[in-house]
Amino acid sequence: MHLSHLVPAAPAPRLARFTVSVIAVAVLAACGGGGSDDDDRVTLKPNRAPFPLVEATIESFHTAMQSGDVSCRDIVQGYLDRIAAYDNEPSAAFPNSPALRSVITTSPTALAQADAMDAEFFGKGRMVGPMHCVPVLAKDNYDTADMKTTGGSLALANNQPPDDAYTIRRLREAGAIIIGKANMDEFAFGFTGSSALGGKTRNAYIAVNSAGGSSSGTGTAIAANLAMVGLGTDTGGSIRVPAAVEGLYGLRPSLRLVSQDGILPLAHGQDTGGPLCRAVRDCALTMDALVGFDPSPFSGQRIAKAWDSPLVPSAAAYATMVSLPTTYTASLRTDGLVGARIGVVRSMFPNRTTANAAFLDALNGALDQMRAAGAIVEDTDIANRATVLTSYASLSTYQFRDDLTAYLTSWSSAVDNHLRSTEAVGDALATLEPTRVANFRTYITAGTNKESNPTYQNNLTPRDEYVIPRVTAALNNVDFATGATRGAAYDVLVYPVLQGFNSLSVNSGSNNRLSPFTGFPAMAIPVGFIKATATSPSVEPVGLEMIAREFSEPTLFRLAAGWERTTMPRVTSPLAPELARPAAPAASASR
Protein backbone atom coordinates (compact mmCIF):
# COMPACT_ATOMS: atom_id res chain seq x y z
CA MET A 1 0.00 0.00 0.00
CA HIS A 2 1.40 3.30 -1.06
CA LEU A 3 1.07 7.05 -1.13
CA SER A 4 1.24 8.09 2.49
CA HIS A 5 -0.07 11.58 1.84
CA LEU A 6 -3.45 10.00 1.11
CA VAL A 7 -3.67 7.84 4.22
CA PRO A 8 -6.16 9.16 6.79
CA ALA A 9 -5.16 9.58 10.41
CA ALA A 10 -7.18 6.50 11.35
CA PRO A 11 -7.05 4.24 8.28
CA ALA A 12 -10.04 2.04 7.68
CA PRO A 13 -9.47 -1.66 7.05
CA ARG A 14 -8.72 -2.10 3.38
CA LEU A 15 -11.22 -3.95 1.24
CA ALA A 16 -10.92 -7.73 1.35
CA ARG A 17 -10.88 -8.36 -2.38
CA PHE A 18 -9.68 -11.93 -2.71
CA THR A 19 -9.25 -13.70 0.60
CA VAL A 20 -7.92 -17.23 0.71
CA SER A 21 -11.25 -18.63 1.91
CA VAL A 22 -12.87 -17.71 -1.39
CA ILE A 23 -10.01 -18.33 -3.82
CA ALA A 24 -11.44 -21.54 -5.24
CA VAL A 25 -14.97 -20.10 -5.37
CA ALA A 26 -13.81 -16.94 -7.11
CA VAL A 27 -11.72 -18.87 -9.62
CA LEU A 28 -14.66 -21.04 -10.59
CA ALA A 29 -17.02 -18.08 -10.71
CA ALA A 30 -14.69 -16.43 -13.19
CA CYS A 31 -14.94 -19.35 -15.60
CA GLY A 32 -16.37 -18.47 -18.95
CA GLY A 33 -16.29 -19.41 -22.58
CA GLY A 34 -15.82 -22.83 -24.02
CA GLY A 35 -19.28 -24.02 -23.03
CA SER A 36 -20.07 -27.09 -20.97
CA ASP A 37 -21.46 -29.52 -23.55
CA ASP A 38 -20.06 -33.03 -23.53
CA ASP A 39 -18.60 -32.43 -27.01
CA ASP A 40 -16.39 -29.67 -25.57
CA ARG A 41 -14.82 -31.87 -22.93
CA VAL A 42 -11.29 -33.18 -23.17
CA THR A 43 -10.45 -36.63 -21.84
CA LEU A 44 -7.34 -36.69 -19.69
CA LYS A 45 -5.18 -39.57 -20.83
CA PRO A 46 -4.31 -42.20 -18.22
CA ASN A 47 -0.66 -43.27 -17.84
CA ARG A 48 0.42 -40.14 -19.74
CA ALA A 49 4.09 -39.26 -19.96
CA PRO A 50 5.32 -36.43 -17.76
CA PHE A 51 4.95 -33.05 -19.42
CA PRO A 52 8.44 -31.51 -19.95
CA LEU A 53 8.74 -28.41 -17.78
CA VAL A 54 12.17 -27.18 -18.90
CA GLU A 55 11.51 -24.21 -21.22
CA ALA A 56 7.74 -24.86 -21.12
CA THR A 57 5.55 -21.98 -22.28
CA ILE A 58 1.91 -21.15 -21.67
CA GLU A 59 1.13 -22.03 -25.26
CA SER A 60 2.88 -25.43 -25.13
CA PHE A 61 1.18 -26.26 -21.83
CA HIS A 62 -2.31 -25.31 -23.00
CA THR A 63 -1.83 -27.19 -26.27
CA ALA A 64 -0.87 -30.32 -24.35
CA MET A 65 -3.78 -29.90 -21.95
CA GLN A 66 -6.25 -29.57 -24.81
CA SER A 67 -4.93 -32.87 -26.12
CA GLY A 68 -5.42 -34.54 -22.74
CA ASP A 69 -1.66 -34.97 -22.26
CA VAL A 70 -1.35 -33.00 -19.02
CA SER A 71 -3.55 -31.80 -16.18
CA CYS A 72 -3.36 -28.74 -14.02
CA ARG A 73 -2.38 -30.90 -11.07
CA ASP A 74 0.42 -32.46 -13.14
CA ILE A 75 1.86 -29.04 -13.90
CA VAL A 76 1.58 -27.62 -10.39
CA GLN A 77 2.97 -30.77 -8.76
CA GLY A 78 5.77 -30.81 -11.31
CA TYR A 79 6.91 -27.30 -10.44
CA LEU A 80 6.62 -28.00 -6.70
CA ASP A 81 8.83 -31.03 -7.25
CA ARG A 82 11.39 -28.91 -9.10
CA ILE A 83 11.45 -26.36 -6.28
CA ALA A 84 12.05 -29.18 -3.78
CA ALA A 85 14.81 -30.65 -5.96
CA TYR A 86 16.71 -27.53 -6.95
CA ASP A 87 15.89 -24.67 -4.62
CA ASN A 88 16.42 -26.13 -1.16
CA GLU A 89 19.62 -27.17 0.56
CA PRO A 90 20.90 -30.66 -0.38
CA SER A 91 19.06 -33.48 1.36
CA ALA A 92 18.83 -37.23 1.29
CA ALA A 93 16.15 -37.00 -1.38
CA PHE A 94 18.07 -34.41 -3.45
CA PRO A 95 21.76 -34.68 -2.52
CA ASN A 96 22.90 -32.72 -5.59
CA SER A 97 20.62 -29.71 -5.20
CA PRO A 98 22.32 -26.46 -6.26
CA ALA A 99 20.37 -24.76 -3.44
CA LEU A 100 19.27 -21.84 -5.61
CA ARG A 101 17.40 -20.19 -2.70
CA SER A 102 15.03 -18.43 -5.08
CA VAL A 103 11.75 -19.30 -3.34
CA ILE A 104 10.82 -18.21 0.18
CA THR A 105 7.57 -20.17 0.45
CA THR A 106 5.16 -22.21 -1.65
CA SER A 107 1.39 -21.97 -1.63
CA PRO A 108 -0.50 -24.34 0.70
CA THR A 109 -3.55 -24.13 -1.59
CA ALA A 110 -1.94 -24.53 -5.02
CA LEU A 111 -2.84 -28.19 -5.50
CA ALA A 112 -6.41 -27.65 -4.34
CA GLN A 113 -6.74 -24.82 -6.84
CA ALA A 114 -5.30 -27.09 -9.52
CA ASP A 115 -7.88 -29.77 -8.77
CA ALA A 116 -10.69 -27.21 -8.98
CA MET A 117 -9.44 -26.07 -12.38
CA ASP A 118 -9.16 -29.63 -13.62
CA ALA A 119 -12.76 -30.22 -12.58
CA GLU A 120 -13.78 -27.23 -14.70
CA PHE A 121 -11.71 -28.09 -17.75
CA PHE A 122 -11.98 -31.87 -17.90
CA GLY A 123 -15.39 -32.02 -16.25
CA LYS A 124 -17.15 -29.08 -17.91
CA GLY A 125 -15.00 -28.28 -20.92
CA ARG A 126 -14.10 -24.71 -20.04
CA MET A 127 -11.03 -22.74 -19.05
CA VAL A 128 -10.96 -20.18 -16.27
CA GLY A 129 -9.23 -17.67 -18.52
CA PRO A 130 -6.24 -17.09 -20.81
CA MET A 131 -3.82 -17.99 -17.98
CA HIS A 132 -5.69 -21.13 -16.95
CA CYS A 133 -3.51 -22.97 -14.43
CA VAL A 134 -0.35 -21.01 -15.28
CA PRO A 135 1.94 -21.37 -12.23
CA VAL A 136 3.28 -17.93 -11.26
CA LEU A 137 5.98 -17.08 -8.73
CA ALA A 138 5.44 -13.63 -7.22
CA LYS A 139 8.22 -11.65 -5.61
CA ASP A 140 7.65 -11.61 -1.87
CA ASN A 141 6.55 -7.99 -1.83
CA TYR A 142 3.22 -8.75 -3.55
CA ASP A 143 0.36 -9.26 -1.10
CA THR A 144 -1.19 -12.73 -1.22
CA ALA A 145 -4.07 -13.69 1.03
CA ASP A 146 -2.91 -17.31 1.22
CA MET A 147 0.77 -16.59 1.91
CA LYS A 148 2.63 -14.09 4.06
CA THR A 149 4.32 -11.07 2.47
CA THR A 150 7.69 -10.56 4.13
CA GLY A 151 9.91 -8.51 1.85
CA GLY A 152 12.54 -11.06 2.85
CA SER A 153 12.80 -9.64 6.37
CA LEU A 154 12.60 -11.36 9.74
CA ALA A 155 10.82 -8.26 11.02
CA LEU A 156 7.91 -9.00 8.65
CA ALA A 157 7.99 -12.79 8.94
CA ASN A 158 4.39 -12.86 10.23
CA ASN A 159 3.08 -10.15 7.91
CA GLN A 160 -0.23 -11.55 6.60
CA PRO A 161 -2.29 -9.08 4.54
CA PRO A 162 -6.01 -9.88 4.48
CA ASP A 163 -6.33 -9.75 0.70
CA ASP A 164 -4.45 -9.96 -2.57
CA ALA A 165 -2.67 -7.14 -4.30
CA TYR A 166 -4.76 -5.78 -7.17
CA THR A 167 -2.39 -7.38 -9.68
CA ILE A 168 -2.48 -10.76 -7.93
CA ARG A 169 -6.28 -10.69 -7.99
CA ARG A 170 -6.22 -9.90 -11.71
CA LEU A 171 -3.91 -12.84 -12.36
CA ARG A 172 -6.11 -15.23 -10.39
CA GLU A 173 -9.17 -14.04 -12.31
CA ALA A 174 -7.30 -14.83 -15.53
CA GLY A 175 -6.75 -18.36 -14.21
CA ALA A 176 -3.18 -18.18 -12.87
CA ILE A 177 -2.12 -20.07 -9.75
CA ILE A 178 0.29 -18.20 -7.48
CA ILE A 179 2.49 -21.16 -6.69
CA GLY A 180 4.79 -19.37 -4.25
CA LYS A 181 6.68 -16.26 -3.21
CA ALA A 182 10.14 -15.52 -4.59
CA ASN A 183 13.19 -14.40 -2.64
CA MET A 184 14.44 -10.83 -3.11
CA ASP A 185 16.83 -8.21 -1.88
CA GLU A 186 15.45 -7.49 1.55
CA PHE A 187 12.97 -4.58 1.28
CA ALA A 188 14.10 -4.31 -2.39
CA PHE A 189 17.07 -2.21 -1.32
CA GLY A 190 19.67 -3.28 -3.89
CA PHE A 191 21.15 -5.68 -6.44
CA THR A 192 22.79 -8.30 -4.18
CA GLY A 193 19.87 -10.74 -4.19
CA SER A 194 20.04 -11.48 -0.48
CA SER A 195 17.53 -11.50 2.36
CA ALA A 196 17.49 -12.65 5.98
CA LEU A 197 14.57 -15.02 5.35
CA GLY A 198 15.67 -16.45 2.02
CA GLY A 199 19.46 -16.23 2.09
CA LYS A 200 21.44 -15.24 -0.99
CA THR A 201 19.86 -16.30 -4.27
CA ARG A 202 22.19 -18.12 -6.61
CA ASN A 203 22.42 -17.54 -10.34
CA ALA A 204 20.76 -20.21 -12.50
CA TYR A 205 23.71 -20.36 -14.93
CA ILE A 206 26.80 -20.02 -12.73
CA ALA A 207 25.78 -20.50 -9.11
CA VAL A 208 28.46 -18.27 -7.59
CA ASN A 209 27.56 -15.35 -9.83
CA SER A 210 25.11 -12.64 -8.86
CA ALA A 211 21.42 -13.25 -9.46
CA GLY A 212 20.93 -9.50 -9.70
CA GLY A 213 18.25 -7.77 -7.73
CA SER A 214 16.07 -6.88 -6.21
CA SER A 215 13.86 -9.42 -8.02
CA SER A 216 16.65 -11.98 -7.71
CA GLY A 217 14.48 -14.91 -6.69
CA THR A 218 12.04 -14.35 -9.54
CA GLY A 219 14.85 -14.17 -12.08
CA THR A 220 16.62 -17.31 -10.93
CA ALA A 221 13.39 -19.28 -10.48
CA ILE A 222 12.12 -18.53 -13.98
CA ALA A 223 15.53 -19.17 -15.57
CA ALA A 224 15.68 -22.49 -13.68
CA ASN A 225 12.12 -23.41 -14.71
CA LEU A 226 10.69 -23.46 -11.19
CA ALA A 227 7.51 -21.75 -12.47
CA MET A 228 6.11 -20.78 -15.85
CA VAL A 229 6.26 -16.98 -15.37
CA GLY A 230 7.30 -14.65 -12.57
CA LEU A 231 6.49 -11.26 -11.11
CA GLY A 232 9.07 -8.71 -10.09
CA THR A 233 9.04 -5.06 -9.10
CA ASP A 234 11.30 -2.34 -10.43
CA THR A 235 12.17 0.93 -8.69
CA GLY A 236 15.55 1.50 -10.29
CA GLY A 237 16.41 -1.65 -12.26
CA SER A 238 15.06 -4.49 -10.16
CA ILE A 239 13.30 -6.32 -13.02
CA ARG A 240 15.74 -5.54 -15.80
CA VAL A 241 18.96 -6.41 -13.96
CA PRO A 242 17.92 -9.96 -12.93
CA ALA A 243 16.44 -10.47 -16.40
CA ALA A 244 19.81 -9.57 -17.92
CA VAL A 245 21.87 -11.91 -15.74
CA GLU A 246 19.38 -14.78 -16.10
CA GLY A 247 18.73 -14.57 -19.86
CA LEU A 248 15.08 -13.52 -19.55
CA TYR A 249 12.66 -10.99 -20.98
CA GLY A 250 11.84 -8.52 -18.22
CA LEU A 251 9.46 -5.60 -18.60
CA ARG A 252 9.37 -2.49 -16.46
CA PRO A 253 5.98 -1.03 -17.49
CA SER A 254 5.17 2.67 -17.75
CA LEU A 255 4.53 4.31 -14.42
CA ARG A 256 0.77 4.57 -13.70
CA LEU A 257 -0.07 1.62 -15.98
CA VAL A 258 0.08 -1.14 -13.33
CA SER A 259 -1.53 -0.65 -9.93
CA GLN A 260 0.81 -0.42 -6.95
CA ASP A 261 -1.96 -1.43 -4.56
CA GLY A 262 -0.89 -4.28 -2.29
CA ILE A 263 2.80 -4.15 -3.22
CA LEU A 264 5.15 -3.58 -0.30
CA PRO A 265 6.65 -0.24 -1.35
CA LEU A 266 10.09 1.18 -1.86
CA ALA A 267 9.15 4.51 -3.49
CA HIS A 268 5.71 5.32 -4.84
CA GLY A 269 7.24 7.81 -7.29
CA GLN A 270 9.20 5.06 -9.09
CA ASP A 271 7.74 1.65 -8.12
CA THR A 272 6.02 -0.59 -10.62
CA GLY A 273 5.40 -4.31 -10.98
CA GLY A 274 6.04 -6.32 -14.11
CA PRO A 275 6.75 -9.79 -15.56
CA LEU A 276 9.91 -11.84 -16.06
CA CYS A 277 9.55 -14.63 -18.62
CA ARG A 278 11.45 -17.03 -20.82
CA ALA A 279 9.19 -16.25 -23.78
CA VAL A 280 7.83 -12.93 -25.05
CA ARG A 281 4.29 -14.23 -25.47
CA ASP A 282 4.22 -15.33 -21.84
CA CYS A 283 5.13 -11.79 -20.75
CA ALA A 284 2.42 -10.35 -23.00
CA LEU A 285 -0.24 -12.67 -21.56
CA THR A 286 0.89 -11.77 -18.05
CA MET A 287 0.69 -8.06 -18.82
CA ASP A 288 -2.81 -8.54 -20.23
CA ALA A 289 -3.79 -9.71 -16.76
CA LEU A 290 -1.78 -7.15 -14.76
CA VAL A 291 -3.14 -3.96 -16.30
CA GLY A 292 -6.45 -2.36 -15.45
CA PHE A 293 -8.05 0.56 -13.66
CA ASP A 294 -7.78 0.34 -9.88
CA PRO A 295 -9.91 2.87 -7.95
CA SER A 296 -7.88 2.33 -4.77
CA PRO A 297 -6.14 5.45 -3.43
CA PHE A 298 -3.02 3.29 -3.25
CA SER A 299 -3.02 2.40 -6.96
CA GLY A 300 -0.54 5.08 -8.04
CA GLN A 301 -2.63 5.58 -11.19
CA ARG A 302 -2.58 9.36 -11.56
CA ILE A 303 -3.58 11.70 -14.34
CA ALA A 304 0.03 12.93 -14.58
CA LYS A 305 3.38 11.47 -13.60
CA ALA A 306 3.81 13.97 -10.75
CA TRP A 307 3.63 12.21 -7.39
CA ASP A 308 0.94 14.60 -6.09
CA SER A 309 -1.23 14.58 -9.23
CA PRO A 310 -4.93 13.65 -8.73
CA LEU A 311 -5.95 10.04 -9.16
CA VAL A 312 -7.41 8.90 -12.47
CA PRO A 313 -11.17 9.32 -11.90
CA SER A 314 -12.61 6.40 -13.89
CA ALA A 315 -11.93 3.28 -15.91
CA ALA A 316 -12.77 5.19 -19.09
CA ALA A 317 -10.26 7.93 -18.26
CA TYR A 318 -7.62 5.30 -17.48
CA ALA A 319 -8.21 3.51 -20.78
CA THR A 320 -7.91 6.79 -22.67
CA MET A 321 -4.76 7.81 -20.81
CA VAL A 322 -2.88 4.58 -21.41
CA SER A 323 -4.34 3.81 -24.89
CA LEU A 324 -4.96 0.32 -23.61
CA PRO A 325 -4.92 -2.30 -26.40
CA THR A 326 -7.40 -5.15 -26.41
CA THR A 327 -4.50 -7.44 -25.56
CA TYR A 328 -0.74 -7.06 -25.62
CA THR A 329 -0.59 -10.42 -27.35
CA ALA A 330 -2.14 -8.71 -30.39
CA SER A 331 1.11 -6.70 -30.67
CA LEU A 332 3.25 -9.80 -31.17
CA ARG A 333 4.61 -10.18 -34.72
CA THR A 334 7.30 -12.50 -35.93
CA ASP A 335 8.28 -9.79 -38.44
CA GLY A 336 8.24 -7.16 -35.71
CA LEU A 337 11.71 -5.88 -36.57
CA VAL A 338 10.90 -5.18 -40.20
CA GLY A 339 10.98 -1.41 -40.62
CA ALA A 340 11.54 -0.82 -36.90
CA ARG A 341 13.66 2.23 -36.16
CA ILE A 342 16.18 1.65 -33.36
CA GLY A 343 18.41 4.37 -31.91
CA VAL A 344 21.59 3.01 -30.29
CA VAL A 345 22.82 5.21 -27.44
CA ARG A 346 26.53 4.47 -27.87
CA SER A 347 27.57 6.69 -25.00
CA MET A 348 25.78 4.26 -22.66
CA PHE A 349 28.04 1.39 -23.78
CA PRO A 350 31.22 0.73 -21.78
CA ASN A 351 34.63 1.45 -23.26
CA ARG A 352 36.12 -1.61 -24.90
CA THR A 353 38.71 -3.55 -22.91
CA THR A 354 40.17 -7.01 -23.14
CA ALA A 355 37.92 -8.12 -20.30
CA ASN A 356 34.66 -6.98 -21.90
CA ALA A 357 35.44 -7.62 -25.57
CA ALA A 358 33.23 -10.72 -25.82
CA PHE A 359 30.44 -8.89 -24.01
CA LEU A 360 30.54 -5.98 -26.47
CA ASP A 361 30.83 -8.35 -29.41
CA ALA A 362 27.58 -10.01 -28.28
CA LEU A 363 25.80 -6.66 -28.05
CA ASN A 364 27.04 -5.47 -31.43
CA GLY A 365 26.32 -8.85 -32.98
CA ALA A 366 22.72 -8.53 -31.80
CA LEU A 367 22.43 -5.12 -33.45
CA ASP A 368 23.73 -6.63 -36.68
CA GLN A 369 21.09 -9.36 -36.42
CA MET A 370 18.40 -6.72 -35.97
CA ARG A 371 19.58 -4.99 -39.16
CA ALA A 372 19.53 -8.30 -41.00
CA ALA A 373 15.94 -8.83 -39.81
CA GLY A 374 14.87 -5.56 -41.40
CA ALA A 375 15.36 -2.97 -38.66
CA ILE A 376 16.95 0.44 -39.25
CA VAL A 377 19.64 0.65 -36.55
CA GLU A 378 21.43 3.99 -36.11
CA ASP A 379 23.70 5.50 -33.49
CA THR A 380 22.25 8.43 -31.55
CA ASP A 381 22.62 10.16 -28.20
CA ILE A 382 20.68 11.87 -25.44
CA ALA A 383 21.40 15.55 -24.85
CA ASN A 384 23.33 16.08 -21.61
CA ARG A 385 23.28 12.32 -21.11
CA ALA A 386 25.74 12.32 -18.19
CA THR A 387 23.63 14.84 -16.28
CA VAL A 388 20.42 12.97 -17.13
CA LEU A 389 21.76 9.75 -15.63
CA THR A 390 24.06 10.81 -12.81
CA SER A 391 23.00 14.20 -11.46
CA TYR A 392 19.74 13.01 -9.95
CA ALA A 393 18.89 10.43 -7.32
CA SER A 394 16.40 7.64 -6.79
CA LEU A 395 13.31 8.63 -4.81
CA SER A 396 13.57 5.42 -2.77
CA THR A 397 16.03 6.95 -0.34
CA TYR A 398 13.46 9.53 0.67
CA GLN A 399 10.02 7.98 0.13
CA PHE A 400 10.53 4.56 1.72
CA ARG A 401 9.97 5.66 5.32
CA ASP A 402 6.50 7.15 4.83
CA ASP A 403 5.46 4.65 2.17
CA LEU A 404 6.25 1.60 4.31
CA THR A 405 4.31 3.05 7.24
CA ALA A 406 1.35 3.73 4.95
CA TYR A 407 1.46 0.13 3.75
CA LEU A 408 1.73 -1.33 7.26
CA THR A 409 -1.20 0.74 8.55
CA SER A 410 -3.47 -0.17 5.63
CA TRP A 411 -4.95 -3.17 7.49
CA SER A 412 -5.56 -4.11 11.10
CA SER A 413 -2.86 -5.94 13.04
CA ALA A 414 -5.45 -7.64 15.26
CA VAL A 415 -5.04 -11.00 13.49
CA ASP A 416 -1.41 -11.15 12.42
CA ASN A 417 0.07 -8.71 14.99
CA HIS A 418 2.27 -7.16 12.30
CA LEU A 419 4.39 -4.08 12.93
CA ARG A 420 2.74 -0.81 11.94
CA SER A 421 5.50 1.70 11.26
CA THR A 422 8.90 1.92 9.63
CA GLU A 423 10.40 2.94 12.97
CA ALA A 424 8.93 -0.16 14.62
CA VAL A 425 10.49 -2.31 11.91
CA GLY A 426 13.83 -0.61 12.48
CA ASP A 427 13.61 -1.29 16.22
CA ALA A 428 12.84 -4.96 15.55
CA LEU A 429 15.73 -5.26 13.11
CA ALA A 430 18.12 -3.98 15.77
CA THR A 431 17.53 -7.27 17.56
CA LEU A 432 16.67 -9.62 14.69
CA GLU A 433 19.17 -8.46 12.08
CA PRO A 434 21.73 -6.16 13.72
CA THR A 435 24.10 -6.28 10.73
CA ARG A 436 21.41 -4.84 8.45
CA VAL A 437 19.89 -2.21 10.71
CA ALA A 438 22.38 0.55 9.92
CA ASN A 439 21.40 0.52 6.24
CA PHE A 440 17.72 0.43 7.17
CA ARG A 441 18.02 3.42 9.49
CA THR A 442 19.59 5.54 6.76
CA TYR A 443 16.25 5.32 4.96
CA ILE A 444 14.43 6.43 8.11
CA THR A 445 16.76 9.39 8.50
CA ALA A 446 16.55 10.44 4.84
CA GLY A 447 12.77 10.12 4.81
CA THR A 448 12.19 12.23 7.90
CA ASN A 449 11.08 15.77 6.99
CA LYS A 450 11.86 15.06 3.33
CA GLU A 451 9.55 17.88 2.25
CA SER A 452 12.13 20.37 3.52
CA ASN A 453 15.06 18.52 1.95
CA PRO A 454 16.27 20.40 -1.17
CA THR A 455 17.87 17.28 -2.64
CA TYR A 456 14.58 15.41 -2.47
CA GLN A 457 12.66 18.33 -3.93
CA ASN A 458 15.14 18.56 -6.81
CA ASN A 459 14.38 14.95 -7.68
CA LEU A 460 10.65 15.57 -8.15
CA THR A 461 9.43 18.11 -10.72
CA PRO A 462 12.90 19.55 -11.56
CA ARG A 463 14.13 16.05 -12.43
CA ASP A 464 11.10 15.39 -14.63
CA GLU A 465 11.47 18.73 -16.40
CA TYR A 466 15.13 18.05 -17.17
CA VAL A 467 15.17 14.34 -18.01
CA ILE A 468 11.89 13.68 -19.85
CA PRO A 469 12.27 16.30 -22.65
CA ARG A 470 15.82 15.15 -23.42
CA VAL A 471 14.88 11.48 -23.68
CA THR A 472 11.80 12.40 -25.71
CA ALA A 473 13.96 14.45 -28.10
CA ALA A 474 16.25 11.44 -28.58
CA LEU A 475 13.27 9.19 -29.35
CA ASN A 476 11.90 11.80 -31.76
CA ASN A 477 15.37 12.13 -33.33
CA VAL A 478 15.46 15.90 -33.04
CA ASP A 479 18.22 18.16 -31.82
CA PHE A 480 17.29 19.14 -28.28
CA ALA A 481 18.91 22.56 -28.41
CA THR A 482 17.46 23.70 -31.73
CA GLY A 483 14.49 21.42 -32.34
CA ALA A 484 15.86 20.60 -35.79
CA THR A 485 14.91 17.20 -37.17
CA ARG A 486 17.82 14.78 -37.54
CA GLY A 487 15.78 12.13 -39.33
CA ALA A 488 12.76 9.91 -38.81
CA ALA A 489 11.77 9.22 -35.21
CA TYR A 490 12.87 6.06 -33.44
CA ASP A 491 10.56 3.42 -32.05
CA VAL A 492 12.98 2.65 -29.21
CA LEU A 493 16.38 3.54 -27.85
CA VAL A 494 18.69 0.66 -26.94
CA TYR A 495 21.69 0.29 -24.63
CA PRO A 496 23.21 -2.41 -22.39
CA VAL A 497 21.40 -3.34 -19.19
CA LEU A 498 24.79 -3.91 -17.53
CA GLN A 499 28.24 -2.48 -18.08
CA GLY A 500 29.98 -5.82 -18.46
CA PHE A 501 29.87 -9.49 -17.67
CA ASN A 502 28.21 -10.61 -14.50
CA SER A 503 30.33 -12.06 -11.68
CA LEU A 504 30.03 -12.12 -7.90
CA SER A 505 28.28 -8.76 -8.17
CA VAL A 506 26.68 -6.86 -11.03
CA ASN A 507 27.96 -3.64 -12.56
CA SER A 508 24.71 -1.94 -13.46
CA GLY A 509 26.18 1.52 -13.84
CA SER A 510 23.53 4.21 -14.28
CA ASN A 511 21.74 2.96 -17.41
CA ASN A 512 19.00 1.46 -15.27
CA ARG A 513 17.89 4.97 -14.22
CA LEU A 514 16.59 6.06 -17.62
CA SER A 515 13.23 4.30 -17.34
CA PRO A 516 12.33 5.19 -13.72
CA PHE A 517 13.48 8.80 -14.17
CA THR A 518 11.20 9.25 -17.20
CA GLY A 519 8.38 6.86 -16.31
CA PHE A 520 8.77 5.34 -19.79
CA PRO A 521 8.57 1.55 -20.25
CA ALA A 522 11.72 -0.48 -20.76
CA MET A 523 12.28 -4.14 -21.58
CA ALA A 524 15.41 -6.21 -21.04
CA ILE A 525 15.89 -8.76 -23.81
CA PRO A 526 18.43 -11.62 -23.92
CA VAL A 527 20.82 -11.19 -26.84
CA GLY A 528 23.39 -13.88 -26.18
CA PHE A 529 24.70 -16.68 -23.99
CA ILE A 530 28.47 -16.58 -24.27
CA LYS A 531 31.58 -17.62 -22.38
CA ALA A 532 33.09 -15.07 -20.06
CA THR A 533 36.54 -16.56 -20.75
CA ALA A 534 37.89 -18.76 -23.50
CA THR A 535 38.37 -21.66 -21.07
CA SER A 536 35.07 -21.33 -19.21
CA PRO A 537 32.79 -24.39 -19.49
CA SER A 538 29.72 -22.31 -18.67
CA VAL A 539 27.91 -19.47 -20.40
CA GLU A 540 26.61 -16.17 -19.11
CA PRO A 541 23.60 -14.30 -20.51
CA VAL A 542 23.99 -10.86 -22.09
CA GLY A 543 21.10 -8.41 -22.22
CA LEU A 544 20.11 -5.26 -24.10
CA GLU A 545 17.49 -2.82 -22.85
CA MET A 546 14.92 -1.12 -25.07
CA ILE A 547 13.08 2.01 -23.87
CA ALA A 548 10.00 3.39 -25.62
CA ARG A 549 7.62 6.30 -25.16
CA GLU A 550 5.16 6.31 -22.27
CA PHE A 551 2.49 3.60 -22.61
CA SER A 552 4.21 2.21 -25.71
CA GLU A 553 4.40 -1.33 -24.34
CA PRO A 554 2.89 -2.64 -27.62
CA THR A 555 5.96 -1.32 -29.43
CA LEU A 556 8.28 -3.12 -27.04
CA PHE A 557 6.35 -6.37 -27.43
CA ARG A 558 6.33 -6.05 -31.23
CA LEU A 559 10.09 -5.58 -31.41
CA ALA A 560 10.79 -8.22 -28.76
CA ALA A 561 8.67 -10.77 -30.66
CA GLY A 562 10.56 -9.99 -33.84
CA TRP A 563 13.85 -10.36 -32.01
CA GLU A 564 12.81 -13.65 -30.40
CA ARG A 565 12.02 -15.03 -33.85
CA THR A 566 15.42 -13.93 -35.12
CA THR A 567 17.78 -14.80 -32.30
CA MET A 568 19.42 -18.01 -31.15
CA PRO A 569 17.41 -20.42 -29.00
CA ARG A 570 17.56 -20.02 -25.25
CA VAL A 571 20.27 -21.86 -23.38
CA THR A 572 18.71 -23.79 -20.52
CA SER A 573 20.02 -23.58 -16.98
CA PRO A 574 22.69 -26.27 -16.46
CA LEU A 575 21.85 -26.38 -12.74
CA ALA A 576 18.22 -27.47 -13.06
CA PRO A 577 17.71 -30.11 -15.77
CA GLU A 578 14.49 -31.99 -16.39
CA LEU A 579 13.53 -34.16 -13.42
CA ALA A 580 12.92 -37.85 -13.92
CA ARG A 581 9.25 -38.35 -13.06
CA PRO A 582 6.98 -41.38 -13.36
CA ALA A 583 4.04 -41.46 -15.73
CA ALA A 584 0.79 -40.17 -14.23
CA PRO A 585 -1.41 -42.93 -12.79
CA ALA A 586 -4.69 -43.72 -14.47
CA ALA A 587 -6.64 -42.71 -11.37
CA SER A 588 -5.65 -39.04 -11.80
CA ALA A 589 -7.66 -38.84 -15.01
CA SER A 590 -10.90 -38.96 -13.03
CA ARG A 591 -10.20 -35.82 -10.98
Among 209, 167, 170, 174, residue whose Cα is nearest residue 192: 209
Residue 137 phi/psi, 5° resolution? -100, 125
Q: Kindly state the helix (H) or strand (E) to which residue 178 belongs, with its residue range.
A: strand 177-182
* CA torsion through residues 457, 460, 465, 470, sign: positive
Query: What whole-number distance in Å separates Cα of residue 339 and Cα of residue 342?
Result: 9
238 CB burial (10 A radius; 0-12, 13-18, 19+): buried
Look up 148 and say whether it is catalytic: no
Buried b (16+ CB within 10 A) or exposed e, 509-547: bbbbbbbbbbbbbbbbbbbbbbebeeeeebbbbbbbbbb
Find the Cα–Cα–Cα–Cα dihedral 431, 435, 437, 440, rounded to 10°. Answer: -150
Query: One of 214, 254, 394, 508 is an active-site residue; which one?
Result: 214
Query: One of 238, 299, 508, 552 is an active-site residue; which one?
Result: 238
Among 310, 245, 312, residue whose Cα is nearest residue 524: 245
Q: Kindly state the helix (H) or strand (E) to which residue 233 belongs, with its residue range.
A: strand 229-233
Query: What whole-number distance in Å separates Cα of residue 403 and Cα of residue 446?
Result: 13
Neighbours of 287 (CB within 10 A): 25
Among 493, 495, 498, residue whose Cα is nearest residue 244: 498
SS (H, E, C) 149-164: CCCCCHHHCCCCCCCC
Query: What whole-number distance in Å separates Cα of residue 581 and Cα of residue 353?
Result: 47
Residue 477 phi/psi, 5° resolution? 60, 45
Look up 91 and say whether it is catalytic: no
Query: One of 139, 396, 410, 552 is an active-site residue; which one?
Result: 139
Q: Kindly state the helix (H) or strand (E) to which residue 440 belongs, with its residue range.
A: helix 437-447
Among 510, 499, 494, residue whose Cα is nearest residue 389: 510
Query: What whole-number distance in Å separates Cα of residue 183 and Cα of residue 451?
Result: 33
Look up 214 and say whether it is catalytic: yes
**Catalytic residue ranges:** 139, 214, 238
